[in-house]
């Protein structure tokens, strides 16, 4: 034991008469063995008397407490930790010489020495728990029996004494179990996969827990899948009500149902689901019933449905099935109900547009049902928190706000940039509302702010070309982006060129590419090659033909509206393009001319009689950079065919489209003569047409017009 801190004490002067089984004069047993076998240095007085009477090998004057005091605090702290039983000092006799009251008081006040560990503090040294005394006595009785039987000192049979076992901690038990399990797996004693036998539930009689909380789970392994499905449905709330409502819904959704029957079924269905509409709108089957009720119900019933869901519209918008209920209410509700839905969404649009499910509701409302002021109200939330908190009675567009308050321009653009950057990598980039915001941002952003946005958006531009504002935003990216940005944008268009060319607004992006991208080689590889592979399909489409017209005759007023030309002119002053526009268009035309003229030769009989392809055919023959004589000869051969009045197939001279092809090709002879070209379509026609055919041409009105030309 530690001993007392300092000085001699009256408590140490008297030798205690105490014996222990291992206290031998020759010190043959080390203290480590004492500790190993769980023997304690502190025993009861009764034990003292017993061993004093029986043993002759122990010194009766040995005192446990009379030990040398450690020289330093380092020695105190290096003492090994002892069990709880050894921490209590026992065996101090009651009858002591001298007055020790003052000595005890000083010791109690002084406490443990500074620096000593808490584990060495002696607490309640004179009080031993009843449990500890019983264990000690039991251990000594076992030792006494062994000594008596073999008639030898107790120390010879000391190894037979088992120490008191401490209870294993839960952590240690888990460790040992995991180690054992690992050993079993290594030896291959555990079966794997499906061959593992199913564990059987223990009987209630063998269970370790004997309380009423253990409930046996219903066995469904003997049921077929239909019965199991029915059992799981019955366990849900409102099962019978849902089943009855489904029967009514099946009748209500029939198209051939009479108006009177439909009203009756709507009333019956509404009576059943009343008060539970918000709950039913979240499930996949019951949500369909609510949608059908909104579609066919009366105005009063629709109003009642809205009253029940008005406080949970935001949660329904985020639900996979509830969002359809909100969209049905937008579609079949009146303008007041739509206005009420908008009020519920106010202040949460920025948050909802980022959500996968609710973004569809916001986009549906913005694109289909919102009025002009309502659209501006939705967009205002992206301009900054102040526009949400201090909403004016009349919503204003970004143009009006910047015109009235120019000092807010930087703050608005900064807020828009922060919001839009978080939307780039998500599916919401497909929505027209997001495209509108990007278009407004590019209209006013300048310098570094615009450059950073283009760099972030360039890979997602392909998702924006299908709307008006989206296509305009992509055109800004092409005009003001670097050469690297343009290359990335073009690569994102790969395999989508045919679709982009045929879209109402996507074709404008193709025209912007032809205007500003200096690297015509990459334009040919990515864009022109795909166009030429699907040339017939593009030529059949009204927007696809504009792409071909722009390659042949860029910004020709015959083919392009003034508004389209004005939009394209906005990108002429970009700082990235270095090549002259005429040179760029000449290079592109050289790359496509052979394929275009071959297309005319392969389909000449169809093209000269097709009203939609008339101008394209003439433009190809007139503007290609390769020799077009073969195409003109093919048309002259068709004109040289015998002209018979009343034939099944109308002659080209008499046809309302064919005669225009011949007339316009003859008109081009004037320009060819000015350029001193030797090949003239008039001469070619006179050589091909047999003698006497001109007389038959003069017999019809359109033939006479050709002869006049």
Mean pLDDT of 462-483: 94
What pLDDT is stored for residue 291 in this prediction?
94
Q: What is the pLDDT of residues 312-329, one digit of tens each?
A: 999 999 999 999 999 999
**Portion of the chain with pLDDT greater than 70, in percent:** 72
The alpha carbon of residue 300 and the mean position of all alpha carbons in its chain are separated, in whole angstroms, by 40
Confidence band (pLDDT; 50, 70, 90) for 72?
very low
Alpha helices (H) in 502-655, listed in sequence order: 506-516, 520-523, 529-533, 535-540, 542-552, 562-569, 581-602, 604-607, 614-623, 629-639
Residue 587 predicted with pLDDT over 80: yes
Q: Please tell me the distance from the alpha carbon of residue 420 to that of residue 457, in angstroms, as a whole number.
A: 10
What pLDDT is stored for residue 133 in this prediction?
64
Q: How many CB atoms lie within 10 A of CB 70?
A: 17
Mean pLDDT of 409-437: 91
Mean pLDDT of 613-635: 92
Higher model confidence: residue 112 or residue 626? 626
Mean pLDDT of 174-186: 77
Comparing CA positions, the residue from 346, 505, 366 lying closest to residue 433 is: 366
Residue 104 predicted with pLDDT over 80: no
What pLDDT is stored for residue 598 in this prediction?
94
Residue 292 predicted with pLDDT over 90: yes
Q: What is the pLDDT of residues 125-177, one digit of tens each?
A: 444 456 666 776 777 677 666 655 554 444 444 444 445 555 567 878 888 88
Higher model confidence: residue 111 or residue 374? 374
* Average predicted confidence (pLDDT) for the chain: 78
Q: Please tell me the distance from the alpha carbon of residue 360 to that of residue 525, in angstroms, as a whole number.
A: 36
Contacts 24+ apart (CB under 8 A), 364-372: 364/327, 364/330, 365/330, 365/338, 365/341, 366/431, 366/432, 366/433, 367/431, 367/432, 367/433, 368/330, 368/331, 369/330, 369/331, 369/338, 370/338, 370/342
Mean pLDDT of 83-110: 53
Phi/psi for 350 (5° steps) reads: -60, -40
Comparing CA positions, the residue from 653, 661, 641, 640 lying closest to residue 699 is: 653
What pLDDT is stored for residue 219 in this prediction?
56
Q: Where are the domains of the chain?
A: 10-160, 238-345, 582-708
Phi/psi for 463 (5° steps) reads: -85, 0
Q: How many CB atoms lie within 10 A of CB 240?
A: 8
- For 401, residues 6+ apart whose C-beta sits below 8 A from its C-beta are 383, 408, 412
What pLDDT is stored for residue 186 in this prediction?
60
Comparing CA positions, the residue from 95, 117, 72, 124 lying closest to residue 11 is: 95
Mean pLDDT of 245-252: 91
Comparing CA positions, the residue from 84, 91, 85 lying closest to residue 119 is: 84
CB 418 within 8 A of CB 410: no
Positions of E strands within 179-250: none
CB 373 within 8 A of CB 395: yes
Comparing CA positions, the residue from 48, 53, 37, 22 lying closest to residue 85 is: 37
Q: Please tell me the distance from the alpha carbon of residue 11 to that of residue 510, in angstroms, as a whole number.
A: 106
Mean pLDDT of 222-227: 77
CA angle 14, 15, 16 (to 5 degrees): 115
Confidence band (pLDDT; 50, 70, 90) for 516?
very high
0.75 surpassed by pTM? no
Could you please report the per-residue DSSP string of 528-561? IHHHHHTHHHHHHSHHHHHHHHHHHSTT-TTTS-
Q: Please tell me the distance from the alpha carbon of residue 232 to that of residue 241, in angstroms, as a whole number.
A: 16
What pLDDT is stored for residue 458 in this prediction?
92
Residue 249 predicted with pLDDT over 80: yes
CB 64 within 8 A of CB 16: yes
CB 481 within 8 A of CB 458: yes
Q: Please tell me the distance from the alpha carbon of residue 690 to that of residue 325, in angstroms, as a whole number.
A: 74
Q: What is the pLDDT of residues 635-693, one digit of tens each?
A: 999 998 887 766 677 888 888 999 999 999 999 998 888 888 888 999 999 998 888 88
């Amino acid at each position: 034991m530690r001993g007392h801190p300092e000085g001699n004490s009256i408590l140490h002067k008297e030798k205690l008469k105490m014996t222990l089984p291992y206290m031998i004069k020759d010190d043959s047993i080390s203290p480590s063995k004492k500790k190993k076998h769980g023997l304690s240095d502190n025993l009861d007085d009764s034990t003292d008397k017993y061993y004093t009477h029986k043993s002759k090998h122990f010194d009766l004057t040995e005192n446990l407490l009379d030990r040398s005091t450690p020289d330093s605090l380092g020695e105190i702290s290096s003492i090994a930790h002892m069990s709880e039983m050894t921490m209590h000092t026992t065996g101090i006799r009651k009858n002591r010489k001298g007055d020790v009251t003052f000595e005890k008081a000083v010791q109690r006040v002084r406490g443990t020495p500074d620096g000593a560990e808490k584990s060495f503090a002696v607490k309640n040294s004179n009080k031993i728990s009843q449990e500890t005394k019983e264990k000690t006595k039991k251990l000594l009785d076992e030792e006494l029996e062994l000594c008596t039987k073999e008639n030898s000192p107790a120390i010879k049979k000391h190894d037979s004494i088992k120490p008191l076992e401490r209870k294993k901690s839960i952590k240690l038990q888990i460790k040992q179990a995991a180690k054992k399990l690992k050993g079993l797996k290594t030896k291959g004693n555990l079966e794997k996969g499906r061959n593992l036998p199913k564990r059987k539930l223990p009987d209630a009689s063998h269970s370790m827990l004997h309380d009423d909380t253990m409930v046996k789970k219903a066995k469904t392994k003997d049921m077929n899948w239909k019965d199991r499905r029915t059992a799981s449905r019955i366990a849900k709330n409102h099962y019978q009500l849902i089943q009855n409502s489904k029967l009514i819904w099946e009748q209500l959704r029939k198209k051939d149902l009479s108006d009177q029957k439909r009203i009756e079924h709507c009333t019956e269905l509404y009576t059943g689901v009343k008060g539970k509409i918000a709950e039913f709108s979240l499930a996949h089957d019951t949500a369909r019933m609510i949608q059908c009720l909104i579609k066919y119900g009366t105005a009063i019933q629709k109003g009642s449905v809205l009253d029940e869901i008005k406080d949970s519209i935001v949660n329904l918008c985020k639900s996979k099935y509830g969002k359809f209920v909100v969209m049905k209410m937008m579609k079949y509700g009146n303008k007041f109900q739509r206005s009420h839905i908008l009020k519920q969404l106010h202040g949460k649009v920025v948050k909802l547009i980022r959500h996968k499910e609710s973004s569809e509701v916001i986009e549906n409302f913005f694109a289909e049902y919102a009025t002009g002021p309502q659209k501006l109200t939705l967009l205002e939330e992206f301009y900054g928190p102040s526009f949400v908190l201090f909403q004016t009675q009349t919503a204003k567009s970004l143009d009006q706000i910047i015109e009235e308050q120019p000092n807010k321009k930087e703050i608005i653009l900064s807020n828009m940039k922060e919001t839009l950057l978080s939307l780039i990598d998500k599916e919401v980039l497909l929505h027209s509302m997001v495209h509108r915001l990007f278009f407004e941002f590019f209209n006013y952003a300048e310098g570094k702010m615009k450059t950073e946005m283009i760099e972030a958006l360039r890979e997602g531009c392909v998702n924006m070309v299908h709307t008006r504002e989206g296509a305009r935003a992509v055109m800004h990216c092409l005009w003001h982006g670097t050469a690297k940005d343009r290359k990335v944008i073009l690569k994102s268009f790969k395999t989508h060129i045919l679709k982009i060319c045929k879209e109402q607004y996507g074709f404008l992006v193709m025209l912007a590419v032809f205007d500003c991208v200096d690297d015509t080689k990459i334009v040919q590889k990515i864009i022109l090659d795909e166009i030429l592979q699907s040339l017939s399909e593009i030529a059949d489409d009204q927007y696809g033909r504009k792409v071909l017209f722009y390659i042949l005759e860029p910004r020709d007023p015959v083919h392009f509206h003034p508004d389209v030309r004005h939009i394209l002119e906005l990108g002429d002053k970009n700082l990235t393009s270095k090549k002259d526009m005429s040179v760029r268009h000449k290079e592109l035309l050289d790359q496509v001319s052979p394929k275009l003229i071959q297309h005319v030769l392969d389909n000449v009989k169809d093209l000269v009689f097709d009203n939609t392809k008339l101008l394209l055919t003439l433009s190809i023959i007139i503007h290609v950079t390769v020799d077009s004589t073969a195409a003109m000869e093919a048309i002259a051969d068709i004109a040289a065919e015998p002209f018979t009045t009343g034939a099944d197939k109308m002659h080209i001279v008499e046809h309302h489209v064919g005669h225009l092809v011949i007339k316009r090709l003859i008109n081009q002879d004037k320009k060819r003569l000015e350029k001193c070209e030797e090949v003239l379509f008039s001469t070619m026609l006179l050589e091909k047409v047999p003698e006497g055919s001109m007389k038959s041409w003069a017999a019809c009105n359109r033939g006479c017009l050709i002869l006049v030309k």
